[in-house]
Each structure stands twice: as C-alpha cells, then as structure tokens.
Structure 1
C-alpha cells in the first residue's frame, strides 16, 4: 500500500460563473423555492450571491443542495414574488417592476423556449391587468402608455413559441383566453367569441378538464356581457358634460340568440361533468343556468332551473315554514353567540358548495318575490340569514372558490371560479331581504328594518379593507366599489319607498332627493331637510346618477301624489318614464301611475266640476289640460298590456287599471278579485288596501254587510300604514277627541273609509255609531287638511 496516497478530487457544490451567465441553466421552473430563498436571504444581508466573488459581510454558509438562481429564471419569477393585491399601496410599484423584469428577461440572448414562452405569457397577463385597471388610459401613469401594442406582441410571440413546442401546449390555452379578453376590450366581440370557440374545438380528450371548463366559462361570460365603454372614456368626460347629458345611457341588452347560446354552453358543461362525475361542476352549471335565466328575464323557465339546482345541492323547503329564533333570557350572563342553523337547513363545509348555495338562495328569493309568492320566499330567506350568521362568507374571503375535479383514475387540477365578492353578497342580503318583504303595515315593518340596517352596515363596512387575491386587477376593485355604491343607492330607494307608503313624510323628505329640472320655487320651500340631497350626492360621488335618475323622479312623483299635488306628480311621472329604459320596471310603473292619476283627476273633475281642486294642496302647479277621457282610456289599455308578465306587483296594478277603465261591472269585479289574490299572495298590504276599497265601492249599495267587512279590513290596513313604533307614542300622534284615539296612517284612505262607514251607519239607523264615526272623521279630515298644507309657504311661516 502507498504510504502517501493522492487525495481524492473535491466535489463541486457550486456551479461555475460561466454556467450562470452563458444560459446553461436548468429549465425546471416548478421547484424554485430553495433557490428563491437563497436569493432573498442574500438580499436581506445586503449582498449579491456570486460564486466568483465572496460576500464581504458575514454570511451563513450555504447548504450543499443550494445553487445560485440563473438571471433569466430570477427575472421571469420576480412577478410572482412581487405580486400584491390591487388595493395594496405598492400595487403600482409591483406592476412597474414586474414589467421591467420581464422586458429584461426577454432582452437576454439564447433563452430556452419554456423561459421565453413563460415570459411572453407573463407580460401579456400583466399588460391585461394594466389595461383592465385603466392605467393605460390615464395621463398620470406614463409608464403604461403603449401597453396595448406590447400585449398584442406578447400574445403573438408566445403563441408562435407554444405552437412549435408540444410540451408548451398549456401556454396556448392561456394565451388564447388572454387574446379573447383583449379583443373584448377592443370591442371586437364577435372575434373574441370565435377565438374561444376555436379554442374549445381544438382541445383533445388528453387535455386537463379544467382547461375546457375555463374556456366554456369564458365563452358564457362573453355571451352574457354586453360591450361597455372603456374606463378611460368615462373618466375623461367632464362634470358639466355629464350634467348636460341628462338622458342616461341605454344599457345594451343581450340578444335572445346570445342568451340561448350561453344556455347551450352551460348545458354542455353539465353533460360533460355528468359523464366524468364532476359533481361540483354539475352544481356550477345548474346555478349558472339559473343566473342566466334570471338576468335575461326569462321567468317562465326559472322555476324548473331553480328546482334542479336546489335538488343537486340537497335543498328542499316547505312554504311559509320560517322558524322563529329563540330569545335568550335577560341576565343569564352568557355572551351572545351567532344563532345556530335550524336542523331543517343544510350547512355547507365545502367553500365551493357554500358559495353556490348563497348565490342560489338569492336568485330564488328574487324569483319568488317577482312572482309574488311570499310563502316560498320566507323559508329561503331564513336559510340565507342562517348561513350568513354562521359566517359562511369567510370560506371564500377573496371571491374565488375551487371546484374539485376528481375522477376514478387520478386527481386533476381544480377549477378556480370567480364568484361575487363576499362583501357584495353581505350587503346584497340586506337589499334582497328588504325588497322581498312587501308588507309595509305594522309598527316595525321588516322592509324598513332591513333597509335601515343595511344602510348602517354599509357605513360600517365602507371603512373596512376589502380582501382581494394577488392576481386581481384594479378594475376588479373599481367594479366592487361601484356595486357597493349601487347597493347603497338601492337601499336608500327602498327606505324612501316604504316611508312614502307609510305616510312618514319626514323620513321620506329626510332621505329623498330632488332630480334636476323637476322642482319649482314652491317645491324648494317644501322639501327642505337635513339630508335632502343625500341620495343625489351619493350617486354623483360615484358617478351613477344616470342609472338612478328615473327612479329619483318616480320617488318624487309618489311623494307629490301622496301629498295631494297631482300636477307636480304628473310631471314627475312623465319625467320618470322619459328617463327610464323602455319596457323596464320603472318605465312601466311610471306609466301605470300616470294613468291612475289621470283617471282619478278626471273622475274628480266630473263630480266636482270647477271646484275639483278643493281639498288638495294649494302649492301645486297648474294642471295641464292635454288629456281627454278617450286618450286616457286608449293609453291606459296599452299600459295594461305592458303590465302583463312584469311580475306580481305590476300585474296586480294592471288588473286594477283595467277594472277602472272597463264599463262592465262584472268584468271590473273579476279584475279586482284577481288583483286582490295577487296582492294577498305577495303579502302586499299597501296594494291590498286599495283593492279592498275599490271592491267595497262596488258592493256598497248592493251588499252592505259584505262591503262593511271589507271596509273594516281596509280601515285596519290604512291605520297600520304609519303606525308608531310603540304604543306610547300613539296618543301623541293624533290628538283624540272625547277619549277617542285614532291612528292616522294613510289619512286620505282612512277618511274615505270613514265616510263610507258613516253612510252605512246612517242607512242602518245606528245613531250612536254615527256620532262616534263623525268624531273619527273629523280627526281624519283635519289630518288630511294638514297633509294638504304640508310644505306650503303659509305652513312654513307658521312653523
């Protein structure tokens, strides 16, 4: 044996400098965690790792399995390291640095195909985020100028590289989706749809299923999303130009052909999911089909779609089986916990199923409210609130859920689906609850309670930071903020409507607004309050006033109608119909109310002659004599036809109008009976009181007992429309005479009912009842007189 053996050659644990600079690096981009940790550790120590030149500062010894990260890999990986949510303070900085890193990476020579394709794809993705956020259309962000052409170049270069190398097939799918997104932003809708269809047809059975589902969801989005102007074009319009253009932009409607095409795509998704036993995709496809039908207003097919969606989620409800929560005893010393979900309601542990259940419950509540089925709304609304109380929205805090794609052979990558942001769902629940509760009678009607609590919650949630994922864009933030702003405006509208229905004019004037061009000098002195312009200021702040201009005018018309100012109400009704979208709910509601007002004025003029203004508001405008009896009947019948198929409320209103316009008593009674059934089924006691009064007028001289029964119910409903919150304030509401306490509520309707009672009592010879009713009628007459004087100059000076 050799006494002085030669030592073995030392094994290299670090690559040479030339290997990192000549491009001879590994192309495995999926396992970069250890290398990235090395780079970040060196950066925190203030030095750059280099095998040729050791760090001057003290640095922990590298482990044997670590090696320096090649420059190209580092540059192409920086966007994922620097990613921030769009509402982060350094979001713009991360975009600028990421774009710069990818541009430097693409400028390097001799890039491997997978690195180059990944860089082009990342550049296209970042560019689309910049475009979606409106940075390229803003003059403040100089760094984003010309990003559109750069995105087009990146899409073209990346597609060419992906086509040359079969191993990069996954990039082709992503680039095709980005290309369709860019085409949609450029208003090339048909071209974008054809690109998605070509992508779907080019997929093979060996492709992962989540790629096909993603393409189908993108196609449904393109088919159901009308083209809207860019963010930049809306921002460049000055405020005087917006105010001068009073007509709201007509929201483009989706053509029936596109709706049916979207339904076909959803059915294809469901068929494929059934064949491959992707249960969660089946749920997604059915809920998506329901959403398309509701958005398109195809109400005849919604019921079946809802039943199939509820069946796949295991939901079933019994009409009007709403359980009442148990009240905890006072002083038990226990902290208040969220109420448990009742046993008959299903809980959802999976985030995807929970998100689908919340969306489906809201869609079902909207549908059954539209069809005036309050018994079906009640259990679903209770289940929705039970889920929200159990903090189900915390399961998907960023608005994204994953649908698992697991088959019998192996596990597949999951399908990531963007759903409505939970912040929107939380506040939307208050709006849906308020709109579904049609009953405005009582001390604390739920419609008013939900609207008030929703506004209070909106003020609280507005100060909280919204959670977004790292790959969201600034456009997503703007969309969420706009939806939240619209929800607040809708909640204000609900509060205004229920306040007018309950004759709570102080509340209505406190939150109501004055549309431009609809006020008069006298009206200005009438509608003065602390928060008179609250809604109009809110809609102007968020630049959504054109969307609510018609509803604003309709609120003013209802308020003027309730304050007995028919001329002003007529002008506001016409303004609402003019500003509303044709054949929309607000448009038809304004036309129906205008017809009812003209019918009432004509009947009043026929009975009272020239003194028909006696008892009305003295501050009203002159009545325009441009309507004759014949024109009112002709236009009224057209409005009746428009009310058919518009939901339970407008259908009932259509029957009331047709009963007033027909000359046959039997037909009028039939229409009123149908209207009463719809109002009762919807639990709309405000409309039900009117219908009962009209029916009682038909039976007043032929069936006194039947008329008296309906008048008693009508009197109770009229008194309940404005009942004080507590019984203690009842005596202060209306001063009683001779010990009689009369809740005012709807004073004109209550006075009309009281006068009919007085006729019946006189006819029956009941002197004691006549004396009591005379006292009650005197109080109601005073309330009506005070209502007519409300807001007049004399009343303002007196107060």
Structure 2
C-alpha cells in the first residue's frame, strides 16, 4: 500500500468504532513519492485541511510528508561535497541538516501518535493505534539502517512492532498487517545481529500460516508468497558491521531455492512477468556462484532469448531488463568459450545502452518492475529490483573489458574499456554524479560499495593486462589501487574477500612474469600462490558460499606447478608438495558444461602431468582448440610454446611453424614505444620489437636451436641471414630482460628506503 490510508476489506467489519477516520485518511493529499507499507493508498480525490482531521491521522499525514521530504534529499546527500569548495561543503551541510530535521520531526510526530492512540479509548486496540506503531517502527528501521546505531533504537522499534502485531491478531480485518509487520521484525533482527537460526525459524513459522497458492488464490495471497521468498533471497541486509559479523547470511543454495520457489508460485498463479524475472535472477546467481556447471544457467538464458533478447525496440519489457539479460547472456557465452557470439551480443547491448534514454522512460522502467495486483488490499506486496540504467552502463564496461581481454596490439580494447570504467567509477565515488536510485542512507552506502567493487575489478583487469604486456610497474600500481579501494569500502571483511585473493594472485603473476635472475621474484611468487591456495581451502572448510574460490585455487595450483617445473633449482621445502598439486589437479576433472576456463585448466594440467608424450600432445591440442575458440591470444601463445616444445625433436617443421606463430604473438604483447630495443652500435637501424621479453627469449632460443640443427639452412645465404637475424632478436630480448631486472632491483631499493 502506498501513501494514504488503509482501506479495510469488505468481508469483515472494522473493530474501530470511528469509521470516519478511514474516510478522512483516504482523502489526504500526501506527497506521492513517500512509500510505506502502512500509510495506505494515495487515491485522494481532493485534499482536506489537516485541522479537520482526527489528531492521529493528521500526525500520520505530517510524518509521511516529512519522510517524503527527507527521501527527496537522499540523492543530494549521495553526492559528496568538494574538498576544495567552501560553497559545496556549505550546501552539503545544509542538506544534511535538513535531512536530520525532517527525519527527527517525523519520528517525534509518530511517537506522539503512539502515545495519543494508546491513551484514547476510541483508538486504542484498533487500526489507528496499529498504524501508529507500525509507522513508527518502520520509520526507525528505515532511518537508522546502515548508520551503525541500529541497536540504540531497536528496543523502541521492537516494542512498537510487538504492539502492532498484537493488535493485528485481534480482528480478522487487521490480519493482512501480520505479514509485513513480521518481515519488519525480522529485518530488525538482522540489523541487530540476531542469529540466523532465529530468523529462519520465524520465516518457516510465517510460511506455515499462509494458505496454499493456486490459480484461483486472491492476489493478496500470491503477493504474500512472493514477499516471503524475496525476503529469503535478500536475507543478508548489508549496511552494518553488526549484521556482517553474524551468521545471518543465506547461502547461495538457499537463495537458489528461493528463486525457484518464486518461479513455481508464479507459474501456479499465472504471473509470467514475475516468473521471467525470477528465472533471470537464478541465472545470474548460477553464473556467479557455480562456475563448475553452467548447464542450468545456459538452459534458462536460452529459454529467455525469444522473450528478452530478440527485439530491442519492443516495449513489452523495460529497457533495463533487456540490457541486464543481454549482459548476463554474453557473459555466459564468454564463459563457455563462445567468444564470437559473446562479442556480437555485447555489441548490440552497447547500442541499446547508448540509445537516447528519456527521463520518463527511465522512470517507466522502474515502475514496471513492481509486480503486485492493483486489487491487493494487504500490506504484503512485492517488487523486484533491477539495476538502473547508470549502473548497467558501468557494468557493461566491466563485461566488455573481460570479454575482450587480449594483450595484443598498441592499444588493446580491453584496456580502453577498463580505463573508461575506472573513470566512471571514480566519478561516482567522488560524487560528481549521484548513484541512482537512492531510497535510504543504507542504500546509498550499498550503492557506493557496489561501485567500489566494480572499480576494484577494473583495476584487476588492467593489472592482468599490464602483466601480460610486461608493464610490471603499471600492473603493480593497479593492484595497489584495487587494494586501496577494497580497504576503503569493505573495511570489515576485505582481508578475507575473494577480491583480496585475486589481488594476491595478481601479485604472484607479476612476480612470476618478472622472474629475476637472483630468484627473489620466484620465491615471492611461490609464497603468494601458496597463500592463495591456503586461503581458498580455508574458505571451503568454513563453508563459504560459491565456487569462484575453488576455481581460483585451481588456477593458483596450476601456476605453482608451472613455476616449479620451470625452475632450474629445486625450491626449499614447500608447504604444498608438487605431488600434491599434481594429484589435486588431476582429480578436478570438469564436465562438458563447465566453463571454458575450467576445461582449459584441466587440459593444461593433463599436458604437464601425464607420462605419455602422445597424451600430452592430445591435451595440448585440446587446450589450443579451446584457446582459439575463446579468442584468448595470451593463452594461445603459451600453448603454442608448450606444443612446439613437444614437437621439436619429432616433427621439426611443425615445431618451427608453431614457434614462429608464438613469437609473433609474443612480440605483439607490448607497445612498440616501451617494448622495443635498438642496438647502441646501430643507432640508425629500425628498433627490434620485443613485446614480452621473457617469453620471446624462450621461444627465440628454441627456434634458434632448430635452425642450427638444420644443416640445409646453413648452406644458403638466406638461411644464414635467418640465423643471424634470430640471434640478434634473442640478444635484444636478453638485454631487455637485463633492463627489466635492473629496474626491479632499483624499485626494491627505493621501497626499502621508504
């Protein structure tokens, strides 16, 4: 119900003797932007003077209006003041002062309404007293959620909810208030750190009180079922350290079951729109939390393609829903290794995002996402939240950077997308634009956390790209920026988050790529990879949700195995023995519905560990086919190098072709400006393009060995020139590596002095 008064059902007489109260409150002209489950519908034909209303109803009207005024200030409060502008700071201070004034005044008025209705016989124990207590509790929870002071008002809010619940049970006409009051009570329990067992027990008790849903069930019953399932899905309410420190968190399997329940209930009741959105929500959850099996996500997204993915100009669904579906769909295609189709869908998604969007259309998108019957007289309505256009626009850059991740060329597209994404995220975090929509202070905080998370992942992608292009200092800078953002916006749990593990793994990648002669980088890389494996295993033992950490653990184990196999000297006693790595990687065989990345890890692990050369060739061939399908040139160059090494002494001609192709790719992994070398004794000659120096040197040495073993090549001038040219390229790579190692040593000296 929204803004106005509660209209009693016709099947039961109201226990409130003063029936005029309802007719008066039904004609209030209250700001339509205010929203409360207990205010009532704003269906007023004409406004009336507050002086003509009974005192409690007038207090409700004033409090609702004040809450609406406070809500209107939230977008302005989400814009942080400029540190260099006194006028900006003064405006922000005035806005904050007005917000505090409005919210405090609303609470004071509702406290007065509670006292007034409790002490007057004409209102005590009826609908008016119930609404006074319910509105007070709701206002306290909405106002203090996310402030860190929830426990200070919890006793007052709990007392008001308890009284309202007691009244709602006193008469059948007030029964519809029981559901929203109970959900409000559970929301308060989460904010104040009550155990998850308490919340789930009350949820199960509430579900048992609802009638079974059938196609002929009233809309209010369907809305109640949807509301309960939505509450389970959104059980972990972010915004307070108290809530984050408890076990009141729904596992991803529980969320999955809740969305599936919504689908079943919607199918029974014929709510096609609710069912489609619930399916989309389930597919999102599966892609995020179950990388080992994408079959269910794929079948859902494929089934929704004719509904959401075919006609962009169709007005049947809001633009935001169509954009969200396309982004999820292209990410699924990318994860399955179908890069071409993923990029095609992504291109169309950007066209849809870039199309001119009128403000009225944005507002329409948000309104159409509320699914509750117009005849619903209960307070148990339900809505699905889909990210607004600005949020989807930012996320589209992250998806684009990930899908186009390719280190080749002067200005890789992935880097351009990620750099633009960082700029957009920083503008939102720096409040040069508001994060919309803003419905509460807690929601503003959640939006900032979401934007910060996107910024962290943009920096992680840029760090990965920098590492592949041998721009190690740049990569380390991006990792430092990612860590700073993570610590600033996730202070309570940043050390154990998946993003922190990815930052640690990124550091290990840089150390592996640098691999200085002294062995210090290899040692640091091994320690970092061991830490990632240990942290991922710890998360698994603690029952942390999702499979992303498991995937990261496999990547770290494969990286550690490659590091061990490539080292010329055995490392000190290792925390994770090499035999343990081999057994673990061999045991983690993915299914055909796993992500392409999981299948690629398995193929590479097989190639490195199987005793048979034939089996190794087959595994590397499978890895190469996957890399080509994924359009992952950074993987392709490594697989070609390994495959050429296997063929080198059996089919030398094939090996040379692979080495030459891989060398060209390695030379493209870095811009000509900073990854080329000119011999001092030949200043006029064109620079030699190096790209990735370490990989280029390894490939060049293998190729040179092959040339030298070919006696026919040395008999011709062309062959001898080829040998000399390759020797000069190899020497240039060697000198570039010496420069890299000197720069790394200098950086260590600077850090030690700092």
Task: Look up the match of 2:633.
Answer: 685
Q: Secondary structure at the match of 1:420?
A: coil
Task: Look up the match of 2:146.
Answer: 133
Q: 1:210 touches 1:405 (CA, 8 Å); kept in 2? A: no
Alignment size in residue pairs: 651
Cα distance in 2 for residues equivalent to 1:251 and 1:126: 23
Cα distance in 2 for residues equivalent to 1:730 and 1:134: 49
Residue number among 280, 286, 299 corresponding to 1:304 in the alignment: 299
Using a 3 Å threshold, how does the CA distance of structure 1 residues 295 and 169 change in structure 2: closer, same or farther? farther
Using a 3 Å threshold, how does the CA distance of structure 1 residues 24 and 228 change in structure 2: closer, same or farther? closer
Task: Look up the match of 2:187.
Answer: 181
Cα shift at 1:496: 0.7
Cα shift at 1:734: 4.5
Q: Does 1:584 align with 2:550?
A: yes
Task: Look up the match of 2:204.
Answer: 194
Cα distance in 1 for residues equivalent to 2:482 and 2:461: 12
Task: Look up the match of 1:168.
Answer: 174
Task: Look up the match of 1:427.
Answer: 394
Task: Look up the match of 1:466.
Answer: 434
Alignment of 1:38-117 (within 5 A): 68-83=52-67, 84-85=70-71, 86=74, 87=77, 89=96, 90-108=98-116, 109-112=120-123, 113-117=126-130
Alignment of 1:497-646 (within 5 A): 497-513=464-480, 534-544=481-491, 545-546=494-495, 547=497, 548-564=499-515, 565-580=521-536, 581-582=539-540, 583-601=549-567, 604-605=568-569, 623-626=571-574, 631-642=577-588, 644=590
Q: Does 1:254 align with 2:265?
A: no
Using a 3 Å threshold, how does the CA distance of structure 1 residues 731 and 73 change in structure 2: closer, same or farther? closer
CA displacement, residues 33-90 of structure 1 (integer Å, 9 cap, x when unaligned) = 46999xxxxxxxxxxxxxxxxxxxxxxxx99999723321111222220012244623
Task: Look up the match of 1:364.
Answer: 329
Q: Does 1:293 align with 2:306?
A: no
Cα shift at 1:460: 2.2
Using a 3 Å threshold, how does the CA distance of structure 1 residues 605 and 164 change in structure 2: closer, same or farther? closer
CA displacement, residues 748-777 of structure 1 (integer Å, 9 cap, x when unaligned) = 111122222223333132212112222222
Alignment of 1:712-791 (within 5 A): 712-724=660-672, 729=673, 734-735=678-679, 737=682, 739-762=685-708, 763=710, 764-765=712-713, 766-791=719-744
Task: Look up the match of 2:600.
Answer: 652
Cα distance in 2 for residues equivalent to 1:152 and 1:499: 54
Task: Look up the match of 1:283.
Answer: 276
Residue number among 254, 268, 273 corresponding to 1:272 in the alignment: 268
CA displacement, residues 342-386 of structure 1 (integer Å, 9 cap, x when unaligned) = xxx513546x53222222222223322322221231122112212
Cα shift at 1:190: 1.5
Using a 3 Å threshold, how does the CA distance of structure 1 residues 69 and 227 change in structure 2: closer, same or farther? closer
Cα shift at 1:559: 0.9
Cα shift at 1:155: 2.5
Cα distance in 1 for residues equivalent to 2:161 and 2:252: 30
Cα distance in 1 for residues equivalent to 2:574 and 2:19: 87
Runs (5+) with no aligned partner, structure 1: 1-21, 38-61, 139-144, 236-248, 317-344, 514-533, 607-622
Q: Secondary structure at the match of 1:164?
A: coil
Cα distance in 1 for residues equivalent to 2:676 and 2:562: 34
CA displacement, residues 695-752 of structure 1 (integer Å, 9 cap, x when unaligned) = 111111222221122112101110111134xxxx489655585835321111111112
Q: 1:400 touches 1:416 (CA, 8 Å); kept in 2? A: no
Q: 2:318 touches 2:368 (CA, 8 Å); kept in 1? A: no
CA displacement, residues 590-617 of structure 1 (integer Å, 9 cap, x when unaligned) = 222112111111xx349xxxxxxxxxxx
* TM-score scaled by length of structure 2: 0.78
Residue number among 19, 23, 28 corresponding to 1:28 in the alignment: 23
Cα distance in 2 for residues equivalent to 1:398 and 1:63: 26
Task: Look up the match of 1:118.
Answer: 131
Runs (5+) with no aligned partner, structure 2: 1-16, 33-45, 78-94, 516-520, 541-548, 714-718
Q: 1:293 touches 1:302 (CA, 8 Å); kept in 2? A: yes
Q: 1:596 touches 1:657 (CA, 8 Å); kept in 2? A: no
Using a 3 Å threshold, how does the CA distance of structure 1 residues 553 and 383 change in structure 2: closer, same or farther? same
Cα shift at 1:417: 2.7
Q: Comparing both chains, which one has the higher relative contact order based on Cα–Cα distances under 8 Å and sequence gaps of 6 or more?
A: 2
Q: Secondary structure at the match of 2:743?
A: coil
Q: 1:549 touches 1:576 (CA, 8 Å); kept in 2? A: no
Alignment of 1:390-429 (within 5 A): 390-391=355-356, 395-396=361-362, 400-403=366-369, 416-429=383-396
Cα shift at 1:389: 0.8
Q: 2:190 touches 2:248 (CA, 8 Å); kept in 1? A: no
Q: 2:214 touches 2:268 (CA, 8 Å); kept in 1? A: no
Q: 1:401 touches 1:419 (CA, 8 Å); kept in 2? A: no
Cα distance in 1 for residues equivalent to 2:29 and 2:223: 34
Q: Secondary structure at the match of 2:689?
A: coil
Cα distance in 2 for residues equivalent to 1:177 and 1:35: 25
Residue number among 291, 302, 318 corresponding to 1:353 in the alignment: 318
Cα distance in 2 for residues equivalent to 1:777 and 1:129: 66
Task: Look up the match of 1:383.
Answer: 348
Cα distance in 2 for residues equivalent to 1:301 and 1:415: 26
Cα shift at 1:399: 9.1
Task: Look up the match of 1:703.
Answer: 651
Q: Secondary structure at the match of 2:383?
A: strand
Cα distance in 1 for residues equivalent to 2:748 and 2:145: 55
CA displacement, residues 226-265 of structure 1 (integer Å, 9 cap, x when unaligned) = 5889434779xxxxxxxxxxxxx99977264x25532431
Q: Secondary structure at the match of 1:265?
A: helix
Cα shift at 1:411: 7.3
Q: 2:294 touches 2:595 (CA, 8 Å); kept in 1? A: no
Cα distance in 1 for residues equivalent to 2:237 and 2:30: 45
Q: 1:454 touches 1:491 (CA, 8 Å); kept in 2? A: yes
Q: Does 1:792 align with 2:745?
A: yes
Cα shift at 1:560: 1.0
Range with bigger deviation, 545-554 or 210-219 = 210-219
* TM-score scaled by length of structure 1: 0.73
- Please tell me whether Structure 1 or Structure 2 has the larger radius of gyration of its CA atoms: 1
Cα distance in 1 for residues equivalent to 2:458 and 2:30: 53
Q: Secondary structure at the match of 1:417?
A: coil
Structure whose residues are more often helix by fraction: 2
Task: Look up the match of 1:481.
Answer: 448
Cα distance in 2 for residues equivalent to 1:678 and 1:500: 22
Q: 2:627 touches 2:635 (CA, 8 Å); kept in 1? A: yes
Q: Secondary structure at the match of 1:82?
A: helix
Cα shift at 1:412: 6.9
Q: Please report the RMSD computed on the Cα atoms of aligned residues, expressed in angstroms.
A: 3.7
